[in-house]
A and B are shown apart, each in its own frame.
Chain A
């Protein structure tokens, strides 16, 4: 390649994604991660970059309902997938129950890991695997929070689980 070649001259792939309920047909470079696609061209900056190596969980989104680190997925590898980001869960005026619980329990301080924590928590509830406080802690351990809001995050998730009656949490914990 010669100096000055624009990156647009490089090969792209066509994929389609459903992002927060909207179908998008995209022409993207094969090396673009889902995270960079969301934060860049899609302008969905609610999903955060904390490490780009799958170590912190800040970029957790839901792909076909499952929680995934968006930094570890090349966008071209998930053609046809349904993506839910934090923006797709709720808005400041109309919050998802997990978002409300996070506010109520002060389950964040700086707020940077929060989108990932909430998407992960929503994914966790859907998995139906968390039956005790210890299991919540274990199964949320892929989402780091440097402000140390962990106990409040566990409170928020417990609150939602209780509310939804998804699992007999209290009994199982005893």
Chain B
């Protein structure tokens, strides 16, 4: 039905747009009016050790203070780790706020002040005095390399590197061209613009309505119920609008625990909103140290790929992501060895941040590919084309689609790549050295189990509902589009209700799977509505549908019609009247196709082209132009899809040039815990970005034919920037972010070839 695009595929403006631009969209901390109590957390000021004493007297006497919670007086909560594990928990022991006197990381919440006003809570929090016995912190990944280990319990089987294939070491030794480099990527912080917040509305009958900043309302609900032993029927979590998250909102954060704890204890509504400083004490993209060794024959065909990554985790959980496996499937190569280890640091547990694993691992691989191109002496795009993989060699599976070649072709053409001169330092613009670099991006395209409900009323209005989230991704709009098209009604007549744990079951929004999964569930529910209508229509006297099957009818312009002749049909109002109903509501459900997964695998691909200008004397790098060509299957809404890619590119530029969590390893404390000193791209840093969606048909990846686009935009960008800086300056900088000092201090590469 969907092949005949009417609404799906149109570049519609967001249906929630008018709410967002007028300040009418309500985020977690925007709820609750007068009479709310306010909580403010006190962060630990050592990275590891124990609390010897917490002196709260002064703070308690501060006007407006209601109660101060510490590990010494907190209410009882669940004992077993299982109860604290949320839907996307990791191997290990989940963090429990105010559990005991132990400090696991800098900034850990060790107390919370609850007061009548935000100001009173904040000011009183500064009066809480804490005495610690600090221990020696270990926060430098480089120093912990010798203590690396393979995580005993995999987070996901797919994250475990495959067994080596062929003879990578031998092939490397014999090859005519080879490179082996180490890449260091510093830790990054998500820093969505919205501060994490939970507004807990306490009601006398024991019901709680919680407005939480989360990527999964049902995950937050289940966590709260498990930890506090509450009846899930009495707890509703809402996340109608989420002010960005990028993975930081996948797991419940400490403010949710603290706000619910206080609301239950005080039997009052409580709001806890974090400070920006606290946003650095939650979760982060872990630092990695990676080694990539590549070897090629005289034509540039890969003979050996070896990739090892060491990645930071915390003392209490083994955070794992897929960093190295990409290197075994991105290009065709028969001799591959991939390995991955963790090192424990005295830090908070890292977490998924936009394209977790790929953003770091593919970056290293793609920088190495550029180095190899220069070693062999062939154009970087040509090198990639010569090693084009037509099969996932890690899993020995067929791709459901892979239009990456079109990405290279169309991206290069739009960028003007053929005007590039190969030699580094060969292009200039006044005082600026000009560099052009490129990289490949790759991300998994999956669907997750998802459910949705669709209601069509006799007046032609439709309503979609699901517990899905819109973290800025456009979920509201694309779900509305899918329903509008399937039900044959205008998008303006569709209401989309999401972000509520009481709605049909949906997993957390992450991994770029929401549009494909929830979209397909909405499609299934809409199809079920049409089928019910057909059933009713067939019972009507003189029904024109006779023996028509479900596949032979369509909903169009408020009527159920025959596919072969749209003149033949009945209005939905008449069908419902005849059936004696005022609306039809059906459930839809999707799940990954296990049978198909035995043979096929799906990825989203991209080719990213970047121009940088580097001031020759000052070393200031600027990204002046980016073309990102994406093969993402069927694009449901080109306008919101383009925005997702733009956002990924900007975050990739941040990764390459700006973002770095700076830790003082003597104290284990984060030094730049604010967004003036933790640099992120601002308006002035972002010039020209073009997005291309190449044609890619895929009838297997999801019932809608769509692949997710939330992550692919960032992947490869940092590598392309680094490669462009090499092309501009002749300097290989293998330590992110690439700041002015590194550009000035690094020597130019000398190559014999």
* A residues in contact (CB < 8 Å) with B: 1-3, 5-10, 29, 31-32, 36, 39-40, 43-53, 55-56, 58, 85-87, 89-93, 95, 99-100, 102-104, 106, 108-115, 118, 136-138, 140-154
Contact = CB atoms under 8 A, between A and B. Distances in A.
Contact of A103 (B14, B30, B64, B275): B14
B596 to A, nearest CB: 32
Interface string B638-659: 0110111011111100000000
Contacts of A31: 119, 123
Interface of B: 13-14, 16-27, 29-30, 33, 60-65, 115-120, 123, 190-195, 241-246, 273, 275-276, 471-474, 639-640, 642-644, 646-651, 674-676, 680-684, 686-689
A152 B192 contact: no
Contact of A146 (B244, B275, B674, B683): B244
A153 B26 CA distance: 21
A-side interface mostly: loop
A122 B246 CA distance: 29
B472 A50 contact: no
B241 A55 contact: no
A13 to B, nearest CB: 14
Given A7-B117, A8-B116, A109-B643, 10 more contacts: A1-B61, A53-B276, A86-B21, A106-B642, A109-B644, A110-B245, A137-B687, A148-B650, A148-B651, A150-B681
Contacts of A90: 21-22
Given A2-B61, A56-B193, A144-B193, A151 B21 contact: no
Contacts of B19: 92, 111
A103 B17 contact: yes
A50 B195 contact: yes
B-side interface mostly: loop
Given A137-B683, A140-B683, A148-B649, A106 B23 contact: no
A150 B683 contact: yes
A1 B62 CA distance: 7
A146 B192 contact: yes
Contacts of A152: 643, 646
Contacts of B648: 148
B23 A87 contact: yes
A164 B640 CA distance: 27
B118 A111 contact: no
Contacts of B64: 5-7, 10
15 contacts: A1-B63, A3-B61, A5-B61, A7-B117, A32-B119, A50-B195, A51-B276, A99-B21, A103-B18, A108-B21, A111-B20, A118-B21, A141-B682, A148-B650, A148-B686
B193 A99 contact: no
A50 B683 CA distance: 17
B643 A106 contact: yes
Nearest to B474: A109
Contacts of B244: 109-110, 112, 146-147
B344 to A, nearest CB: 29
A30 to B, nearest CB: 10
A93 B17 CA distance: 11
B65 to A, nearest CB: 8
Please provide the 7 A-B residue pairs with the shortest distance between their CB atoms, ordered closest to farther: A46-B23, A148-B650, A112-B243, A7-B64, A110-B472, A111-B20, A109-B472
Contact of A154 (B63, B193, B683): B683
A36 B276 CA distance: 15
B63 A6 contact: yes
Nearest to A46: B23
Contacts of A141: 682-684
